[in-house]
């Protein structure tokens, strides 16, 4: 057995089933091991290494399992950076495996493709190491997986030089996932006391609540307390957008009811939420302990407690453990009916959503982006999976795509890296071939990764991309126009449906809201990966002013 086999067998024994990557010459001992393990640990070959990282992230977000992205050191590791940065900024666990400069050479060696991966990955991974000796390999695999999954999850990287990878390897290991951390009983009692006394409670689920599987407990708590409830963009679906507690998604772009709830709540409970700028009013969080508001924060990462918003009570624990304990501490107290505060917030939110849904056309007679988002949201079957890519397009998807269950709606709010959507959707389709998977994107965003249509066709991954095609880098053009100029924001002329067909996929163009549902049906019926090039106008979203103000004052 060589170290490539030790690595492959250790990953499989630790629950990894996919390696996404671009074939790498110096990873031959690892790829050779995978060639003998189809169905156990599969290689999925992509056209750009960042797509591999996004697909590994999507596997983790959709299934909870750890996945691997692999690349040649040098050009491959540099290409990985975008995808690793997305995972890092969104706390998504994955493992990157890259080759390296042979361990016996001096540094720098002057070798073609030479790169110091540990330096390169310092800004986009939670942890990274180079394996310099075969004997180190099992311990470093153990540490890498442990770091990826424990505390605040994140991407990790192992660089393995070809002479190490090809050397005789130690016995494979199996790494067990870390145990969820329990909350102390005193903290739970204090949280229960604060919530018992609350007149205007607000619950917010972040990505940590989804990865902990805490949605059932969170919904039960909202029902028990008659609380307002919502989720961050990483927590989409943890609170159903169709429930009587829901007030809108997306923090400060989610509408006035959501912002008012954040300001007026007397007790706010946040679970697995890092309070990023999507929840800021200017440069300060819109929630936090202040006169009239108490903040309870549950997080598996002790360093996150109180890091952005002043907390009354910080609880270092797994969200599901803590919320379960909190429900038990509240005991058999009768369920509270929603009071006048929640009722008025709901009325405001329902009015906001209705106003968005009423849009049909922009001033120039084009399809309004809200109308496209509405038609698409209405046409998606309840078990469909959707990814929100693009610039301004994501705002409309965020408002108008129902999100009723966790792990069904996927956003990338932390880095907002255009182009992640298609790779994400392909990984989702691989895991759930029987469900409709839609990548809703902008025309600018789609251009970054459209070569993955080739991956889609080769692997038979019939995900559907719907492009909000406004023939521009829309939101950038808006900013320029407000500053009195326009430079290089036009993207007219590409026929994305024809591009899709050239890749062997289904492609068509639509221009009106009533064409959306039939086009989606045809795309599903084609059985092929598909692109629906939907021509829309550009219209500023009502949340734009607040979004643009984050961090500026």
Ligand X SMILES: Cc1ncc(C[n+]2csc(CCOP(=O)(O)OP(=O)(O)O)c2C)c(N)n1
Among 368, 392, 407, 430, interactor with ligand X by CB under 6 A: 392
Distance separating alpha carbons of residues 545 and 475, to the nearest angstrom = 12
Question: Is there binding between residue 124 and ligand X (CB under 6 A)?
Answer: no
Contact call for residue 424 and ligand X (CB under 6 A): no
User: Which pairs with CB-CB distance under 8 Å and at least 24 residues apart come from 106-113?
Assistant: 112/74, 113/72, 113/73, 113/74, 113/75
Residue from 14, 215, 384, 393 in contact with ligand X (CB under 6 A): 393
Member of 126, 320, 359, 417 binding ligand X (CB under 6 A)? 417
Compute how many other C-beta atoms are within 10 angstroms of the C-beta atom of residue 488. 9
Over the window 501 to 530, marking each residue x when it contacts ligand X by CB under 6 A and - when it does not, the resulting string is ------------------------------
Taking only Cα atoms into account, the Rg of the chain, rounded to an integer number of angstroms, comes to 24
Can residue 391 be called a binding residue for ligand X (CB under 6 A)?
Answer: yes
Q: Single out the segment in contact with ligand X by CB under 6 A; choices: 203-211, 276-284, 308-316, 386-394.
A: 386-394
Told to check if 236 binds ligand X by CB under 6 A, we report no
- Which of the stretches 332-340, 358-366, 414-422, 523-531 binds ligand X when contact is defined by CB under 6 A? 414-422
Considering only the stretches 23-31, 279-287, 349-357, 466-474, report the one whose residues sit in contact with ligand X under the rule CB under 6 A.
466-474
Asked if residue 401 binds ligand X (CB under 6 A), the reply is no
Total residues in contact with ligand X, by rule CB under 6 A: 20
Q: Shortest gap between Cβ of 233 and ligand X (angstroms)? A: 14
For residues 250 and 395, is the Cβ–Cβ distance under 8 A? Answer: yes
Eight-state DSSP code of residue 25: G
Give CA–CA dist 195/544, Å, rounded.
33
* Shortest separation between residue 396's beta carbon and ligand X, angstroms: 8
88 binds ligand X (CB under 6 A): no
How far, in Å, CA of 544 to CA of 252, rounded?
Answer: 9
Q: What does the alpha-carbon distance between residue 382 and residue 364 come to, in Å, rounded to a whole number?
A: 34
Residue position matching structure tokens 């311990």: 139
Chain CA centroid to CA 90, Å = 6
Contacts to ligand X from residues 147-206, by CB under 6 A = none
CA distance 314 to 307: 10
- The CB-of-491 to ligand X minimum distance in angstroms stands at 7
Given the DSSP bridges, would you call strands 280-281 and 284-285 parallel, antiparallel or unpaired? antiparallel
Q: Does 470 bind ligand X (CB under 6 A)?
A: yes
Determine if 53 is a binding residue for ligand X (CB under 6 A): no
CB of 252 to ligand X, least distance (A): 17
What is the 3-class SS of 327-370, one letter each residue? HHHHCCCCCCCCCHHHHHHHHHHHHHHHHHHCCCECCCCCECHH
Report the nearest approach of ligand X to the CB of residue 446 (Å): 7
Whose Cβ is closer to ligand X: residue 272's or residue 442's? 442
CB-based contacts of 402, cutoff 8 Å, min separation 6: 241, 242, 377, 380, 382
- Which of 188, 121, 130 is CA-nearest to residue 158? 130
Of the candidate spans 287-295, 397-405, 436-444, 544-552, the one that interacts with ligand X by CB under 6 A turns out to be: 436-444
Tell which one of 100, 237, 390, 421 touches ligand X (CB under 6 A): 390
Q: Give whichever of 192 and 475 is closer to ligand X, judged by the CB atom.
A: 475
State which residue, 97 or 445, has the beta carbon closest to ligand X.
445
Choose, by CB under 6 A, the member of 191, 198, 425, 445 that binds ligand X.
Answer: 445
230, β-bridge pairs:
204
Q: Does 475 bind ligand X (CB under 6 A)?
A: yes
Q: Is 91 left (phi over 0), alpha (psi -120 to 50) or beta?
A: left
User: Where does residue 250 fall: left (phi above 0), alpha (psi -120 to 50 degrees), or beta otherwise?
Assistant: left
Rounded distance between C-alpha atoms, residue 295 and residue 194, angstroms: 9
Three-state secondary structure call for residue 43: strand
Give residue for tokens 């907390």: 311
Residue number, 248 or 390, with CB nearest to ligand X: 390
- The only residue of 30, 473, 496, 547 in contact with ligand X, by rule CB under 6 A: 473
Binding-residue pattern over the window 342 to 381 for ligand X, x denoting contact by CB under 6 A: ----------------------------------------
Nearer Cβ to ligand X (159/441): 441
Shortest gap between Cβ of 103 and ligand X (angstroms)? 34
> Contacting ligand X (CB under 6 A), which of 416, 466, 528, 531?
416
Per CB under 6 A, the segment of 209-217, 224-232, 410-418, 512-520 that binds ligand X is 410-418
The contact set with ligand X (CB under 6 A) reads: 390-393, 416-419, 442-445, 448, 468, 470, 472-476
């Amino acid at each position: 057995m060589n170290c490539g086999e030790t690595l492959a067998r250790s990953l499989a024994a630790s629950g990894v089933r996919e390696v996404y990557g671009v074939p790498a010459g110096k990873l031959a001992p690892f790829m050779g091991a995978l060639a003998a393990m189809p169905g156990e640990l599969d290689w999925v070959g992509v056209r750009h290494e960042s797509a591999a990282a996004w697909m590994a992230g999507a596997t983790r977000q959709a299934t909870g399992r750890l996945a691997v992205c692999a690349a040649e050191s040098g050009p491959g590791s540099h290409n990985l950076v975008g995808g690793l940065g997305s995972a890092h900024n969104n706390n998504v666990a994955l493992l990157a495996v890259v080759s390296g400069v042979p361990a016996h050479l001096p540094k720098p060696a002057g070798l073609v493709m030479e790169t110091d991966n540990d330096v390169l990955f310092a800004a986009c991974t939670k942890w990274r190491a180079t394996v310099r000796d075969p004997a180190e390999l099992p311990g470093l695999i153990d540490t890498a997986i442990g770091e990826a999954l424990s505390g605040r999850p994140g991407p990790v990287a192992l660089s393995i030089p070809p002479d190490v990878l090809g050397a005789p390897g130690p016995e494979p290991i199996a790494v067990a996932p870390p145990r969820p951390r329990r909350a102390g009983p005193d903290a739970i009692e204090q949280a229960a006391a604060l919530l018992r006394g609350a007149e205007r409670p607000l619950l917010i689920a972040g990505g940590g609540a989804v990865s902990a599987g805490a949605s059932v407990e969170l919904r039960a708590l909202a029902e028990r307390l008659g609380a307002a409830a919502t989720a961050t963009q990483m927590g989409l679906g943890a609170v159903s957008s169709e429930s009587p507690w829901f007030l809108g998604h997306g923090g400060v772009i989610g509408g006035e009811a959501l912002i008012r709830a954040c300001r007026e709540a007397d007790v706010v409970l946040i679970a697995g939420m890092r309070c990023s700028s999507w929840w800021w009013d200017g440069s300060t969080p819109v929630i936090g302990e202040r006169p009239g508001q108490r903040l309870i924060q549950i997080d598996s990462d002790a360093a996150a407690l109180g890091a952005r918003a002043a907390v009354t009570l910080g609880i270092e624990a797994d969200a599901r453990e803590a919320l379960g304990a909190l429900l038990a501490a509240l005991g058999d107290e009768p369920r509270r009916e929603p009071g006048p505060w929640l009722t008025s917030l709901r009325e405001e939110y329902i009015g906001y959503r209705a106003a968005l849904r009423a849009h049909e056309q922009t001033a120039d007679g084009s399809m309004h982006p809200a109308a496209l988002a509405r038609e698409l949201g209405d046409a998606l079957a309840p078990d469909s999976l959707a990814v929100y890519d693009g610039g301004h397009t994501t705002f409309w998807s965020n408002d108008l795509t129902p999100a009723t269950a966790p792990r069904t709606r996927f956003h990338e709010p932390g880095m907002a890296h255009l182009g992640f959507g298609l790779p994400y959707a392909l990984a989702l389709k691989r895991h759930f071939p029987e469900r409709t998977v839609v990548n809703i994107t902008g025309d600018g965003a789609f251009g970054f990764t459209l070569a993955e249509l080739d991956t889609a066709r080769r692997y038979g991954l019939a995900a559907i991309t719907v492009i909000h095609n406004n023939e521009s880098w829309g939101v950038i053009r808006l900013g320029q126009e407000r500053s009195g100029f326009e430079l290089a924001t036009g993207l007219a002329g590409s026929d994305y449906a024809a591009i899709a067909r050239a890749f062997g996929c289904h492609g068509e163009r639509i221009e009106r809201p009533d064409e959306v549902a039939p086009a989606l049906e045809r795309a599903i019926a084609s059985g092929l990966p598909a692109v629906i090039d939907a021509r829309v106008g550009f219209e500023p979203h009502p949340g734009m002013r607040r979004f643009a103000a984050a961090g500026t004052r």
